[in-house]
A and B are shown apart, each in its own frame.
Chain A
Amino acid sequence: MKRFFLILFAAAVLTSCGSKENAARAKVNIYIWTNYLPPEVVAEFERRTGIDANVDTYDSNEAVLAKLQSGVADYDVVVPSDYMVKILVPQGLLQTIDHNRLPHFKNLDPRFLNQAFDPGNAHSIPYLWGTTGIGYNKQKVKEPIDSWRALFDGRYAGRILMLDDPREAFGAALKLMGRSINERDPATLRRAAAMLEAQKRLVRTYNSSDFANLLAAGDVDLAQGWNGEMAEAVTNAPDRLAYVVPKEGGTLWIDNLAISKGARNLDAAYAFIDYVLEPKTAAKIVNGVHYAAANQAAWPLIDDKIRRDPAIYPPKEVLDRCELIEDLGKTMPLIDELWTEIKAQ
């Protein structure tokens, strides 16, 4: 037993020495979604700049919020989603970004800039983005799916999955009505709720965590879902599964690079963000992680297969009809109430 602990202790001492050696070099601490930064992209950054990049991963926006709120986390660069930027900024957890220090900012697609969650991109730089759409089993549906109508179609009763998320469920109904996902008019919202109530008998399950697996396993044939997980499922079974953003448009999400208020490695943080904005780097990231980048200069360098994959890059006219989920403020309680009624039926 003594020997056992001695070995463990020695291992601990050795590893702590290892990390001290690097203390003299410049570094940047990055807190980012899993599978959002290919290792070779990090390696090239370190090689080129001599800066050590420490990458830690998280699984939810709330993890970023908790870490930054603690006030003692040493992360310099974080990657919150659109709505989380809007929560972090008023709490003073993100720095104002000096665009003059980012010469490659010009490479970004204006479509993703200056959004309601961060006017003028004062605190955030768009990184990767995606959509909500429908994943479906090509062998089981009657015709090609291109509209939210399919999720309200009686022929698919008992084989439909909806996201367990009021904004997404209402989003599908509102888009089908030709309205905005961020509709605030109570009468319109009530009509959307009536649609969702009528739809309920067709829905096999409401699920936001496991939808792609349920679709892949054949438990449902049509599933509302986010494109990342769906793309993964489709890649594994391309003959059987497909993903489409309905022609009415879906929700759009953007994950953004931001610098934390207490960042201690400011120069390195700017160097890293600007490096990511280079067309070559952005293309390498897209080719590696299979999410779309907000970088238009990278487009010619992205693999053809990815550029033509509508699950990653939906057609422009469809994308034009996609919307970001905005904070609805006083309208939220009504939506929550209507959603509770639908789920309780």
Chain B
Amino acid sequence: MKGGWHRRLLAAHTALVYLFLYAPIAILVAFSFNAARQTAFWEGFTLDWYRRLLSNALLFRSVRNSLVVAGITTAAAVLLGTPAALALARHEFRGRRATQALLYLPVIIPEVVLGGALVTFFGAVGLRLSLWTVVIAHIVFSVSYVAIVVRARLSGLDPSLAEAARDLGANPFETFRRVTLPLAAPGILASALLVFTLSIDDYVVTSFVAGVGATTLPLHIYSMLKVGVTPEVNAISTLILAGTIVLIVLAHRLLLDSSPTEGAG
């Protein structure tokens, strides 16, 4: 009975933490179905905001832009960051420490500085601002996150596994493909999800480097603040949330499928 009391307190504590984390999201979802234009009061159920969403071309374009940028950024950052993490975790070479320090830099410096520096750089090399400059800017800070996360995963692995593979006659490529990569996969996937999230809600850097037709969803939402955010934003956020959940479940499934004992992915 005494233990029960403690357990109940812990359960209540846990429930409160989850409430704190998820209540705002639940409210956001609920108010996307609210008939009232302002989000302070509940005035009845409606699908109106979803209907209006369908005819809001600018909002739709901004969502598409955000998805394109986040998708390309994630792919590029993983392709560039993973080899960097491998090199840093597995090999001693001259300038290793400096490389590592430089990799941390884009994570540490304020976004305003990064955005300002990038736009000056684009100006200096004469690269016109567009959606591609947004992609480049996002890759700049994303590569660091991938390298850091994947490296952390690799340092936790036993190096003797790769040695064993080589002892058993695997060439370096086979070792990488059949041993190192599957072991690093959870880290790579985690970094990909992290980077995708960072890219899709970045405002500061994007606001500096976005060019014609490159309004992303965060830019669009901020620019709505002047005249008031409508529940259309709640509706699009709900859809993105649903999409994100599907993606995470899917990624989780894929990871489970590819990790079992038979080895190859």
Contact = CB atoms under 8 A, between A and B. Distances in A.
A35 B212 contact: no
Nearest to A8: B71
B220 interface: yes
Contact of B126 (A1, A72, A75): A72
Contacts of A217: 40
Interface in A83-106: none
B209 to A, nearest CB: 8
A19 B213 contact: yes
Contacts of A39: 57-58
A15 B68 contact: yes
Interface stretch (A62-70, A156-164, A166-174, A293-301): A62-70
B129 A59 contact: no
B107 to A, nearest CB: 23
B212 A232 contact: no
30 contacts: A1-B185, A1-B255, A4-B247, A4-B250, A8-B71, A8-B75, A11-B68, A15-B68, A34-B224, A54-B213, A55-B58, A56-B215, A59-B225, A66-B207, A70-B122, A70-B123, A72-B123, A72-B126, A72-B127, A72-B128, A73-B129, A73-B211, A73-B212, A74-B129, A74-B211, A74-B212, A216-B40, A229-B227, A232-B227, A236-B37
Which of B75, B127, B211 has its CB near the most chain A CB atoms (within 10 A)?
B211
A4 B64 contact: no
Q: How large is the interface on A (under 10, 10 to 19, 20 to 34, 35 or more residues)?
A: 35 or more
Contacts of B185: 1
A163 to B, nearest CB: 15
B136 interface: no
Nearest to A67: B129
Contacts of B226: 33-35, 59, 228-229
A49 B18 CA distance: 55
B189 interface: yes
Interface of A: 1, 3-5, 8-9, 11-12, 15, 19, 29, 33-35, 39, 54-59, 63, 66-67, 70-75, 209, 212, 216-217, 228-229, 232, 236
A72 B136 CA distance: 15
Contacts of B38: 216, 236
A229 B228 contact: yes
B137 to A, nearest CB: 12
Interface in B38-76: 38, 40, 57-58, 64, 67-68, 71-72, 74-75
Interface string B215-243: 10001101111111000000000000000
A56 B210 contact: yes
A232 B126 CA distance: 42
Given A39-B58, A57-B215, A216-B40, A8 B129 contact: no
A55 B130 CA distance: 13
Contacts of B213: 19, 29, 54, 56
Contacts of B67: 8, 11
Q: Which 3 pairs between the two chains have the least Cβ-Cβ distance?
A: A8-B71, A34-B223, A59-B223
